Structure 1
């Protein structure tokens, strides 16, 4: 009886380029700036990315460039949520409650990144360096660079379907 092994490469039918963006602007503002400077048509999806049963929600924008067979995604890396904080019963003020903000990350090993742009294509993306230089030319963008997704432990979080 023959033994068949499956390799990770057997499932990789899509190639993509992943760009990390450091930017303090809101997601809708960055989407507008990317649309203006890169001639894109990114639009907010009706539903955000939800992980761990609504524990974290990440905004996502998408555009299918059917002419060039390229899919563009802009996704926030950070999800902030307010949670109730209750003081311990043994404290001086036992009825002390408050709220604190908890941050979750889409790609935890890249905590300093604000947004990711994922450019999916059946072929390799044409001129990623030109795309990168156009993103870096945006005044609100602090820096942008290409990330090797194969080096990420949580690269499965980049599957948006």
Structure 2
């Protein structure tokens, strides 16, 4: 009996997308509106959140599928705040609960980033700079920069489809 071995090596190595990190303190729906206005796109809230059941974390996501250029734009939050109640284990007359806010990051390498704009297309450098310049025009955005997604340890968290 012959043994067939498939070697996929470099097939799944390179991810073909542009990832922009955005620092902003505004709510996700407000940032989506501002990006729509300044980039002439049409991000809308996705029906379901991005859920990670192993961490009990959910992240808001806004998407737009550009049918003309066959590009999908996604705005996703990097921060998930969950409240857990910790029971004190003291042997006392009164039982107390302490509420703890736990913060979980979608991409832990960039904890200072509030949102990621993922564009499922690799743009040339001039188009990428044009997108960044339009984002810089938004007064509520502190800063934005591109990230090489292939250098991320947690790039699997950015697979939405």
How many residues end up aligned between the 2 structures?
157
Where 2:119 maps in the other structure, the secondary structure is strand
Measure, in 1, the Cα distance between the counterparts of 2:134 and 2:119.
Answer: 15
Measure, in 2, the Cα distance between the counterparts of 1:27 and 1:104.
Answer: 17
RMSD: 1.9
Measure, in 1, the Cα distance between the counterparts of 2:54 and 2:154.
Answer: 17
- Pairing 1:110-125 to 2, within 5 Å after superposition: 110-121=110-121, 124-125=122-123
Measure, in 2, the Cα distance between the counterparts of 1:63 and 1:125.
Answer: 17
**Residue matched to 2:100:** 100
Q: Structure 1: 5+ residue runs without aligned partners? A: none
Q: Does 1:24 align with 2:22?
A: no
**Residue matched to 1:128:** 128
Measure, in 1, the Cα distance between the counterparts of 2:48 and 2:55.
Answer: 12
Where 2:11 maps in the other structure, the secondary structure is helix
Where 2:85 maps in the other structure, the secondary structure is strand
CA pair 69-99 structure 1, distance change in 2 beyond 3 A = same
Counterpart contact for 1:72–1:118, Cα < 8 Å: yes
- Pairing 1:61-80 to 2, within 5 Å after superposition: 61-80=62-81
**Residue matched to 1:143:** 143
TM-score normalized by the length of structure 2: 0.89
**Residue matched to 1:34:** 35
Counterpart contact for 1:87–1:94, Cα < 8 Å: no
Per-residue CA distance 1:21-54 (angstroms, 9 max, x = gap): 0000000000000000000100000100000357
Which 4+ stretches in 1 moved above 6 angstroms? Answer: none
Where 2:17 maps in the other structure, the secondary structure is strand
* Residue 137 of structure 1, CA deviation: 1.3
